[in-house]
A and B are shown apart, each in its own frame.
Chain A
C-alpha cells in the first residue's frame, strides 16, 4: 500500500546550521503519526517542506504520490492544513470564514463546523481577530472537519491552548480519525497530549531521527532504570541512553531487558540496587532526547 506521505533523503541547512541530513520517513494510510521534538529541531521546517513552502537543500517529499512543490489543486483539496499558531484570515468573522472556505470543497460539511462552534457560544458576527487562542483553535478545527480531508497535517496544534482546549482538540481528533479512517500527521513539543492520540511516533533530535516506532511499542518496552554506583561516568552505548546522576541516584533509559542493562552497566563498574520503571510518553521522550 503506497504511503500517503513519503520523505526521501531530506537535507536542509539554515545558513551553516544543519537541520537534518538524509531524513527519511513515511506515513501510512489510516495512521496518526506524531513528529515529536524539542524546539528548534525542525518540526515546522518539515511541515513547510511538505507543503511546498520551503525548498530543502536536497531530497523530495511526496504527498499522495505528488511532489511537494508541485501539488495539484485536487490533492491540496484532500489535505487539511493547520498552521502553527492557528493562523487564519482573522479579518473574517465566524460566518464569513465558513462561507469563504465552503466554496472550495465540494464535500463541505457545514454542520460539522457549526456543531463545533455551538460549544464556543460565540456570535456569528464575531471577528476571529477578537477571539481567544482557544476559540480560534476551535474555529480552525471546525473548518478542518467541515472540509473533510483525507489527510490532516497539523503543526503544533496545542500551541497557546489551555489544558481544557488541548484535551478537547485531542478527543475530537481521535474520534474523527477513527470514524472516517483518516490519516493525521502532526507535530508537537507538548508530549503529554500525544500519548492517547498518536499511533506512531517519530522522535526528532538535532540533525536526525532518533526513533520511529509505534507508540505502543515505546510505552511497552522503553524503561527507566535507576541504580547506585560509585563511578563518576558511564560510557554511552547502543543499549543505554542518557545515563546521568540525579542527587545520589543514577538513572538511565533503555529498550533492553533489566538483565541486559545490568550486564552493560556492570562492565568496569560496580552498580547496585537496580530498579526499572515504566514510562509515560513524555518521560520516554525526555529519556530519549535528554533534559537539555
Chain B
C-alpha cells in the first residue's frame, strides 16, 4: 500500500528530479572547470593563498541551487494536492492519515537529501584531489548551511502549500523567508559552525509544520 504513495509522488516529481540531477551535474562540472581555469590564470600557490587569506568562494553557483531544488520539489509534490483540494483524495485513502503525510514528506526529504548528499560529496571529493584537507573543510563549512537550506525550503514549501487559508499562507511564507535568510548570512567560511546544530534542529522541527496545515485543512477552514 505504501508503495503506491511513493509511486504517486514519483510520477509527480520524476521530471523535476531528472532536471535537478542534470542541473546539479552541469553546475558541478562547470564549477570545476572554472576552478581549473582560475588556477591556471593565477597560479596554484596564489590560488591557495587567496582561499586562505581572502576566503574566496569556490562554488558560488551552489549558494542558491539547493534552496531552489527544495522549493521546486515541494511545489511539484504539493501544488497538485492543493489544486482542486485534491488532498481530499489522498486523505480518503484507507491508510492512517499521518502515515500518508509522513511518507509523502519523507519521500521528498529523502530525494532532496540524496541530491544534496551526492552533490556535496561529489564536490568535496573532487576538491580533495586538488587541495589539501583543511581547504576541503573550509569549503564544506561554507557549503553546509546552503545545503541544509535545501531541506528547510522543501519542508517550508510543503507547509505553505498545504495550508488552506490564503492569509495564513502569506504569513507562513513570510516566516519561511525570514528563517531561510538565516542560512545565507554573509560570513567567513566556518562562521556557521556554532549555528549548524540550530539549523539542523529547525529542519527536524519543521517536519511537524505540514501536519498542522493538514489538520486545518480537515477542519474545512476557508
A/B touching: CB–CB < 8 A: yes
Give chain A's interface residues, CB within 8 Å of chain B: 14, 48-49, 51-55, 69, 73-74, 76-77, 79, 81, 83, 85, 87-89, 91-92, 96, 99-101, 103-105
Place the interface of chain B in its size category. Answer: 20 to 34
Contact A53 B89, beta carbon cutoff 8 Å: no
Residue numbers in B under 8 Å from A74 (CB-CB): 94
Bits for B1-19, please: 1 = Cβ < 8 Å to A, else 0.
1011001100110000000
Q: Contact at A77–B7, with CB atoms within 8 Å?
A: no
Are A103 and B4 interface neighbours, CB within 8 A?
Answer: yes
Q: Could you tell me the distance between the alpha carbons of A52 and B97 in the complex, rounded to whole angstroms?
A: 12
List chain B positions with a Cβ less than 8 A from chain A: 1, 3-4, 7-8, 11-12, 80, 84-86, 88-89, 91-96, 217-220, 222
Are A76 and B92 interface neighbours, CB within 8 A?
Answer: yes
User: A89 with B94: in contact, given A48-B220, A54-B220 (CB under 8 Å)?
Assistant: no
Q: Which residue of B lies closest to A52 (CB)?
A: B218
Cα–Cα, bound, A276→B92 (Å): 48
Q: Please state if A53 and B218 are interface contacts (CB–CB under 8 Å).
A: yes
Residues from chain A with Cβ under 8 Å of B86 in the complex: 87-89
Contacts of A76 in B (CB 8 A): 92-94
Contacts of B85 in A (CB 8 A): 53, 83, 87
Q: Which residue of B lies closest to A101 (CB)?
A: B4
**A103 and B218 contact, CB distance less than 8 A:** no
Q: Give Cα distance in the complex from A228 to B220, angstroms.
A: 50
A100 close to B4 (CB less than 8 A): yes
A89 near B89: Cβ-Cβ < 8 Å: yes
Assembled-state Cα–Cα distance A79/B89 (Å) = 12
Query: Which B residues are CB-close (under 8 A) to A83?
Result: 85, 88-89
Q: A51-B88, A76-B93, A83-B89 are in contact. Are A100 and B218 (CB under 8 A)?
A: no
Closest CB pairs A-B (n = 8): A54-B220, A77-B94, A55-B219, A73-B94, A103-B4, A76-B94, A87-B84, A81-B92
Please indicate which of the listed interface residues A14, A49, A83, A105 has the most CB atoms of chain B within 10 Å of its own CB: A83
Contact partners of A55 in chain B: CB under 8 A = 218-220
Q: Determine if A104 and B84 form an interchain contact, defined as CB atoms under 8 angstroms apart.
A: no
List B contacts of A73 (CB < 8 A). 93-96
User: Considering only CB atoms, which chain A residue lies closest to B96 in the complex?
Assistant: A73
Out of B7, B88, B222, which one reaches A100, CB within 8 Å? B7
When distances are taken between beta carbons in the complex, the residues of chain A under 8 Å from B4 are 99-101, 103-104
Question: Does A14 lie within 8 Å of B222, measured CB to CB?
Answer: yes
User: Do B12 and A105 have beta carbons less than 8 Å apart?
Assistant: no
- How far, in Å, is B100 (CB) from chain A's closest CB? 10
Chain B positions within 8 Å of A48 at CB level: 220
Tell whether A104 pairs with B89 under 8 Å between CB atoms, given A55-B219, A89-B8, A91-B80.
no
What's the Cα separation between A52 and B90 when bound, in Å?
Answer: 13
B12 x A91 contact (CB < 8 A): yes
Q: Which of A52, A88, A105 contacts B94 (CB 8 A)?
A: A105
**Chain B residue nearest in CB terms to A83:** B88
Q: Are B7 and A99 in contact (CB under 8 A)?
A: yes
Q: How distant is the Cα of A76 from the Cα of B89 in the complex, in angstroms? A: 11
Q: How far is the CB of B167 from chain A (nearest CB, A)?
A: 15
Cβ A87 vs Cβ B88 within 8 A: yes
> Considering only CB atoms, which chain A residue lies closest to B220 in the complex?
A54
**B11 and A104 form a contact (CB under 8 A):** no
Nearest chain A CB to B14 CB, angstrom units:
10
| Interface contacts beyond A87-B89, A100-B8, A101-B4: sample of 20 additional A-B pairs, CB < 8 Å, sorted by A | A51-B92, A53-B85, A53-B91, A53-B217, A53-B218, A55-B218, A55-B220, A69-B218, A73-B94, A77-B94, A83-B85, A83-B88, A85-B84, A91-B12, A92-B8, A92-B11, A99-B4, A99-B7, A103-B3, A104-B95
Shortest B222–chain A CB gap in Å is 7
